[in-house]
């Protein structure tokens, strides 16, 4: 682990944000032409063996503007701090391992015919890693104007994302 926060190398974060937005723009453009790329790129457990690439492509697949904005803003803030602590390679490993773990959980717990999209699993992995590495870090989460430990925000966000229908894996 590196000593202290540097935050001067935003390359990994920029790569991920650009990739996510390029896929988002492609999905929206295809949508205008009557093609549903979400079905091609989203992870659906029931068709995983026929479409194995979706276990990775779904991490870059967002449909709504608020969906991608929330994930990319959170990626930026968690990533900026975490990248300075662990370096680029470990940052990418945490990001992708978190997304793959999220997909594995979706495969076990979710409806096999639902489609999982988005970077939430990856972003939560970054938040979890940051909470473990900086246990005293306090954050303010909109709209709650009270500083709280990052781990409380991550756990709270996880429960909201896991159990509120329409936000989570319930489809």
- In whole angstroms, what is the distance from residue 119 CA to residue 128 CA? 14
Neighbours of 23 (CB within 10 A): 19
pLDDT at 9: 67
pLDDT at 167: 54
In this structure, of 3-7, 12-16, 123-127, the range with the lowest mean pLDDT score is 3-7
Whether 170 shows a pLDDT value over 60: the answer reads no
Domain boundaries, the chain: 11-163
SS3 167: coil
- Angle, helices 65-86/120-133, rounded to nearest 10 degrees: 30
Between these two residues, 102 and 165, which has the higher pLDDT value? 102
As to burial, measured by CB atoms within 10 angstroms (0-12 exposed, 13-18 middle, 19+ buried), residue 25 is exposed
Q: Residue 129 — very low, low, confident or very high, per pLDDT cuts 50/70/90?
A: very high
Average pLDDT over residues 27-32: 95
Beta strand spans in 37-154 (E): 138-141, 144-149
Whether 43 shows a pLDDT value over 80: the answer reads yes
The CATH number given to 11-163 is 1.20.1540.10
Neighbours of 67 (CB within 10 A): 17
Residues 6+ apart with CB under 8 A from 5: 81, 84, 85
Nearest to 96 by CA among 130, 121, 71, 118: 121
Structure tokens at 55: 């276990």
Nearest to 13 by CA among 80, 59, 68, 90: 80
Average pLDDT over residues 59-87: 93
Between these two residues, 159 and 119, which has the higher pLDDT value? 119
Between these two residues, 158 and 151, which has the higher pLDDT value? 151
Whether 155 shows a pLDDT value over 50: the answer reads yes
Q: Residue 17 — very low, low, confident or very high, per pLDDT cuts 50/70/90?
A: very high
């Amino acid at each position: 682990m590196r000593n202290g926060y540097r935050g001067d190398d935003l390359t990994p974060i920029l790569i991920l944000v650009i990739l996510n937005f390029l896929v988002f723009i492609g999905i929206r453009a295809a949508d205008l032409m009557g093609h549903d790329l979400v079905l091609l790129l989203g992870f659906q457990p029931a068709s995983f063996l026929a479409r194995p690439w979706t276990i990775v492509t779904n991490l870059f697949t967002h449909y709504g503007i608020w969906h991608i904005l929330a994930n990319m803003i959170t990626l930026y803030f968690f990533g900026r701090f975490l990248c300075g602590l662990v370096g680029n390679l470990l940052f990418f490993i945490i990001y992708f391992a978190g997304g793959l773990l999220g997909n594995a959980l979706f495969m076990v717990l979710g409806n096999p015919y639902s489609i999982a999209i988005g970077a939430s699993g990856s972003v939560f992995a970054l938040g979890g890693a940051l909470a473990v590495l900086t246990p005293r870090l306090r954050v303010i989460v909109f709209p709650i104007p009270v500083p709280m430990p990052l781990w409380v925000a991550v756990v709270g966000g996880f429960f909201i994302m896991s159990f509120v229908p329409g936000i989570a894996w319930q489809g």
